[in-house]
Amino acid sequence: MILGPTARPYITLGGKFALKVHRFGELVLSFQYVNTEPAMIVWSSTRKAGAFAVCLSAAHQYTDDAYLIAQAMNAAQQIGYSPLEKSIVGKIADLFQSGLDELVRMPPEPEIAVKRREQRAEVLLREGGANGQVISHQEIAHDPLEQMQ
């Protein structure tokens, strides 16, 4: 799980929120949504560090070998490895390259996932206090990710 500055979860890695999860030794690659955008996310199953996401909007950049290696080095460092560890950087680059086709084929985020994320509230306006006659009744649904777009 990735936590935001207020310690609320930004994203849960793998599990029921992922379309697919693949394990490659201690590296895990999942295909899921980040801020409603299709993404592939890599993290280590053995290290308590971060995760690195490749979103669909940036996928085309990973076809350039120099960019791919630079990002694999960034990913290695983000998930708790040395960016100079050639074997890990190579594995991450291979995961990114092999996952691009699957990333591009991901469908848009399902509506049910958006509904689960929505915060709902019921607002009652009463005359004369908490037990008074209802003057107005509203149900409000808010998706916190809509503000980010």
Name the residue type at position 20: K
**Would you say residue 60 has pLDDT above 80?**
yes
Residue 11, SS3 per DSSP: strand
- Between 4 and 81, where is the model more confident? 81
| pLDDT above 70 as % of the chain | 67
- H or E element in which residue 80 lies: none
- Render pLDDT for 63-85 as a digit per residue (tens, 0 to 9): 999 999 999 999 999 999 999 99
Which residues face 3 on adjacent strands?
9
Specify the pLDDT at position 148: 46
The number of residues making up the chain comes to 149
Counting other chains too, the contacts that 85-91 makes at CB distance below 8 Å and 24 or more residues apart are: 88/27, 91/24, 91/25, 91/27
Give this prediction's pTM: 0.69
Residue 13, SS3 per DSSP: coil
Lowest mean pLDDT among 1-5, 28-32, 140-144: 1-5
